[in-house]
Chains A and B, each alone.
Chain A
Amino acid sequence: MIKKILVGLGSCGIAAGAKKTYDKLNLIENKNFILDKTSCIGMCYKEPLIEVIDETGSYLYGKVDEKRALEIIDRHINNNEIIKEWVVKTDKFETSEKDFLNGQVKIALRNCGYINPERIDEYVERGGYSAIKKIATEKLSQENVIQEILDSGIRGRGGGGFPTGLKWRFANKSVNKEKFIICNADEGDPGAFMDRSLLEGDPHSVLEGMIIGAYAIGANSGVIYCRAEYPLAIQRLNIAISQAKEKGYLGSNIMGIEEFSLNIYVKEGAGAFVCGEETALIASVEGERGMPRKRPPFPAVSGLWRKPTNINNVETLANISWILANGAKEFTKYGTEKSSGTKVFALTGKINHGGLVEVPMGITIRDIIFKLGGGIPNGKKFKAVQLGGPSGGCIPESLIDTPVDYDSVNATGAIMGSGGMVVMDESTCMVDMARFFLNFTAEESCGKCTFCRVGTKRMLEILNRIVEGNGKEDDIERLEELGEQIKNNSLCGLGQTAPNPVLTAIKYFRFEFEAHIIKKRCPSLNCKPLITFEVDTDNCTGCTLCAIGCPVDAIDGAKKEVHFIRQADCIHCGICFTKCNFNAITLDKLNLSV
């Protein structure tokens, strides 16, 4: 059997150097192996990844740079020697990465990393398009399909958590010759890349979900609204659409189902976080500014071009064909009663094993971070995890055993969100994080509602003052008051959730805010204006780099002599700290306790 090598070429793989690895392998003349591409398998912390398939099985090698690649050719391909220390995943023996892998259940990500996403045949070989064939051969009605999705209990994976089956039923009930199905691929949450991986790695699963949804609601036109920052995803989607058309999964009389026709096109976003909101997305597709519209009427009744429209998230759609093919009952075997199935999380931040994980709902945050994620690097202590991006909230250590399901997470004040999970350690300042998120939402606010437009700005002004050391006594109460008002008086989800990161940070880390405001100190040593920089007389070699770099000439000292920072003139910019190569600038060694 001729050996096969699959190189993982998702966007992160390429960024980690996988293209160079692929090119190196491709240049080999008279290859005694087949070289092919695949996409992201989710094990981002081990990129670049290549899989070698030989007569004994399959072996996924990690951290394969050009040098390692050539050695794998030499030892494994040419001499049948499996280099065990480099293998991160295989069925043949346990690897060091078993914890990352064993906790996962791949439903949405079932094909990612296993197929070449530009080959529809490989998708079909793994069961793709069997669901739509099932609908045709078993003559399932629209109601049959909707009922199956309802029975599965699947809830919107974009963050809303609304039962998908119910959404489809509403759109189905609307009577109109023209209906639309839209895939929301505007993954705008910073820190989230689940949808990107799905679109790059298994675009057909999303298409099949859309086709099934279109059948269920009676739609004849489909739009995939994909953010422009994902050029590879857009390219793969377009290839997939033309392939699906060719094979009869799109177009007229799909799979012989009478009167069922569907055409899908990709609409590129233009850079607006708010367009992830359904009505703003619709406005954007219509060529307007992405400003949300009043509901009712809901999109299911009057959406795109005022016609009944159903919008679903990428991950939701990727689950649909699996549910139809395997049955709703199989789906409910995973997860909890009210949150069935699995969820894909993008585990990032201060974590050893960063990447994409798909886990059954109900797993605890502790297990995700410490079992699968391998815990916090550099021996640092876990502080909080941000769930739900700029609409979500932080969850502190005291709540780390919270199970990950819609209702339990909502109870903490955060939201499940689309799946971004950013881990923070003791060096992260929660006040700064609150400011970071608010800066984002204030910038992205469409401006329609006064409370969102002006309110987020005012909250941001207060937070900016706090991190600069100019906090006032009633700032925290002012933030809480403003936060509640903005939540209650905004038209769309952006405004309704923008204060969440700030409110949860205050709820769980009030002492940090108080330290900044009252003691003018940043306990995490992050906010430079609140840090005292001093020269460590033991380590200073008198190299003068700090003095040269100081923008206000606040550092005294002759060459080869210990330097000294004049505190009265110091502007706390931290440049001396970044310039010093001898660890001779200390941060706030005097008073760290709050």
Chain B
Amino acid sequence: MRVDRIVENIKNTELSEQVDLSSVSKLIETYKDKRGNLIPLLQGTQAIFGYIPKEAFYLINKATGTPLSDIYGVATFYSQFRLNPVGKHIIKVCHGTACHVQDAPVLTQALEEVLNVKDGESTEDMLFTLESVACLGCCSLAPVMMIGDETYGNLDGKAAVKVIKQIKRSEG
């Protein structure tokens, strides 16, 4: 199950003035005259904030003239885009075929337990977000999980929990 991306479930329904959109404006300037710019724009925005704030949607709509519904339509179509803030460390547990055959669900279950969240949710201290993803392409090392840019393979429940505990320790 992916991180929740349905419009109605966006947690912050009010527009906040604290969201600094200056970098988004810069992005829009770069992509303004390029065809098919919407997806790179959304990707760039997410790279800045870790998700796409509601304010960014309004800014892109105003600056490019693309209808808000079209922008939301694209943002909710692709699984990469997140509409809610995410934790510092995003744990992607691979549920591709090879990983599934090598008991990936056991991994997710173990992580849900140690983090006390359900698949798709973030921990209360916003340190971790747990996601299931389709395939990371490291099938020979199944089951696999990715945290940030690091890939961990040949896991079982205990090994996965060990990695999490190590990260928690390093965060102090």
Q: Name the residue on A nearest B38 (C-beta).
A: A287
Which one of A191-199, A506-514, A530-538 contacts B? A191-199
Cβ contact within 8 Å between A187 and B78: no
CA distance A355 to B144 in the complex (A): 15
Interfacial residues, chain A to chain B (CB-CB below 8 A): 11-12, 14-16, 44-45, 47, 187-193, 196, 228-231, 267-273, 284-290, 305, 346, 348-350, 354-355, 386, 389, 420, 422, 424, 428, 433, 436-437, 440, 444, 446, 578
CA distance A351 to B154 in the complex (A): 14
Q: How far is the CB of A13 from chain B (nearest CB, A)?
A: 10
Q: Name the residue on A nearest B149 (C-beta).
A: A231
B106 CB–A CB distance under 8 Å: yes
Partner of B140, one of A269, A348, A420, A436: A348
Answer whether A188 and B78 are a contact pair too, CB < 8 Å, given A15-B141, A286-B35.
Answer: no
Contacts of B141 in A (CB 8 A): 12, 15-16, 44, 47
CA distance A14 to B139 in the complex (A): 13
Cβ contact within 8 Å between B137 and A229: yes
Partner of A287, one of B74, B106, B137, B154: B74
CA distance A90 to B119 in the complex (A): 46
Partner of B77, one of A14, A45, A289, A350: A289
Answer whether A349 and B98 are a contact pair too, CB < 8 Å, given A12-B153, A228-B43.
Answer: yes
Q: Name the residue on B nearest A389 (C-beta).
A: B97
Contacts of B80 in A (CB 8 A): 228, 269-271
B30 CB–A CB distance under 8 Å: no
Partner of A286, one of B36, B95, B100, B138: B36
B53 CB–A CB distance under 8 Å: no
Q: Name the residue on A nearest B139 (C-beta).
A: A348
Extra 8 A-B pairs, beta carbons < 8 Å, given A15-B153, A188-B135, A272-B78: A47-B140, A190-B95, A190-B99, A229-B135, A269-B78, A287-B37, A348-B142, A422-B97
B12 CB–A CB distance under 8 Å: no
Partner of B106, one of A192, A273, A440, A578: A578
Contacts of B109 in A (CB 8 A): 578
Q: How far is the CB of A272 from chain B (nearest CB, A)?
A: 5
Partner of B78, one of A290, A305, A350: A290
Q: Name the residue on B nearest A231 (C-beta).
A: B149
Partner of A11, one of B43, B78, B81, B137: B137
Interface size on B, residues (CB 8 A): 42
Number of A-B pairs, beta carbon distance below 8 Å: 135
Closest 5 CB pairs of A and B: A190-B96, A44-B140, A270-B78, A191-B97, A190-B135
Answer whether A15 and B151 are a contact pair too, CB < 8 Å, given A44-B140, A190-B96, A228-B43.
Answer: yes
CA distance A228 to B154 in the complex (A): 23
The 8 A CB mask of B159-171 against A (1 = contact, 0 = none) is 0000000000000
Contacts of A192 in B (CB 8 A): 135, 137, 139
Cβ contact within 8 Å between B140 and A191: no
Q: How far is the CB of B103 from chain A (nearest CB, A)?
A: 10
Cβ contact within 8 Å between A354 and B36: no
* Sample (24) of A-B pairs whose CB atoms are under 8 Å apart: A15-B138, A16-B153, A47-B140, A47-B141, A191-B135, A192-B139, A193-B135, A196-B137, A228-B80, A270-B42, A272-B77, A284-B39, A287-B74, A289-B73, A348-B139, A348-B140, A349-B97, A349-B142, A422-B97, A422-B98, A433-B101, A440-B134, A446-B77, A578-B157
Contacts of A230 in B (CB 8 A): 137
B49 CB–A CB distance under 8 Å: no
